Structure 1
Amino acid sequence: MKKTLLLLLTFVGVNAFAQVNLNLPGPISFNGATFGLLYDAGELQGTLTSVTISATLDASFADTYADDLTIAVTDSNVLSTANLLFQGGGYSNFGAPDRQFWANGGSATIGTIVSGTITLATPIDFTANPNYAIFIGNGYADANPATNSGTWSNISITLNGVTETTASSSDFNSNSIFIYPNPATNVLNISNSNSLEIKTVYITDVNGRMVKNQQGVLTQVNVSDLNAGVYFITIEASEGKTTKKFIKQ
């Protein structure tokens, strides 16, 4: 049984019919209380009313359950216990004023499916609050969060009431690409939900200077040699390109 709660997170957006659908085949792994950025500030518009999820637990270490897969909404793109607005899923309580649980998935047995729809107690207006962001990660932290982990695949997420802004769109749907963990320490993983043929990946710093350029079919990029700070990764595929922001710790 899970016995220990950790209250500090560790890093490693209309009308009623609007929604964003995300499909991440995975596998995607997160250590305890570790999250990746799904939507950055300014990338969603509308009012988030509910969140639906489905995913399969592929691996579990130190009692991580399927329903520890967590969606978090924050008032900025820096994740901390101080700026949480909503926590959907996860055993550990990180202090969000609206904290709810998935209907199914309370098991660490491999193959368990987490699923359910959570209706927010207070809908969140991304249009009026463009700095809001959404994260996904592991909402369980044992006594040492680096020691527990979970791996999920076939992740399907529906954000009801919001749509992507024009700024978040590119030559192909930005939902096709998910990078994690964010912040990153050594390796930045690239999840490609539509089997896109990635041709080039390059990283620039906040001054627009290119610091890394790699070509070929890539699923991860080594960022261990980068200085701590904010960077932008541009992923080019045959269908177009998309740029996402990440933090190097």
Structure 2
Amino acid sequence: MKKITNLFFVFIAFSTFCVNAQDFSVSFESDEGFNLGEINGQNNWLSNPDVSSLINITDERSSDGDYALHLESDAEGPLPDGGITGTISPELEFDGEVSLTVDLWIASGDEETSSEFNLIAQSPSQEFLTSRVAFFNGDIFVLNTSASDPEQLEFNNVGSYDENQWFELKIDYDFPNETIEYYIGDNLILSGDVYAATNIEQLLFLSSFNQTEIFIDNINLMTESMSVEQIADISFSVFPNPTVNQLNISGQGASEINQINIYNVAGKKVKAELNQNNSIDVSHLSSGIYMMNIETEKASKTIKFIKN
């Protein structure tokens, strides 16, 4: 492996909560356990505490549902000393053939006032980057192996995006065959290679100087056997919520549930058993807020519930 592909600057601690499933699907909605306001600490997403007030769940605009993640432009001016701000996902475990899609809305700017926005996948256990895509003033730059020197990396200006409107970035990772393909919508913008890490354990959404307004929504990370359409076909609801003794699961795909896991607000797994009627006895749980991850053969979904 090339020694120039070390982890991107990690400005916050690595999460100890791990998402280990066939898909990671986040639209920052209330039924996923998110609330309006700072994302730092919500569902094991983390951000730099010094500027976390500028990184929020908002209902100002969204591409899917009611909420989205908002990286605000700091009216007080750029962060000093080339500062970087943003947020980091919970710990992930994805390898093999993997597809990432995310909806982005990036405000327009100029050379003097704009910030560079980066979407980064990386692997702390391997201590390497997996991929890095940068957006600046309508141009897209992808980090890839240099055409002139295979032992070096370089940013390739591979296309453009429309400012002030939603667009989809898609990245297809084929780790066994060492290829990565990058798309805007359905348009292939670069056929690249796996130049360092061979899995994905973190997603980072970073802004330099904090001077460009950015919205992020509808993040889907899935194995090749999955598709966004399949994930959309799986929907669950739980009732009653809040509950005292019993929690019931209903919705499309409820009959296909393989496993449920319940976590308290500290990320600790608590005991729970699903009976044949898709109901769960939660009478033994202490009062508080919990996250329940529901898994089927096709997808998984996390829902917040309250135990009274």
TM-score of the two chains, using structure 1 as the length reference = 0.41
Query: Which structure exhibits the higher relative contact order, with contacts defined as CA atoms closer than 8 Å and separated by 6 or more residues?
Result: 1
- Largest Rg, 1 or 2: 2
Bigger fraction of residues in strand? 1
TM-score of the two chains, using structure 2 as the length reference = 0.35
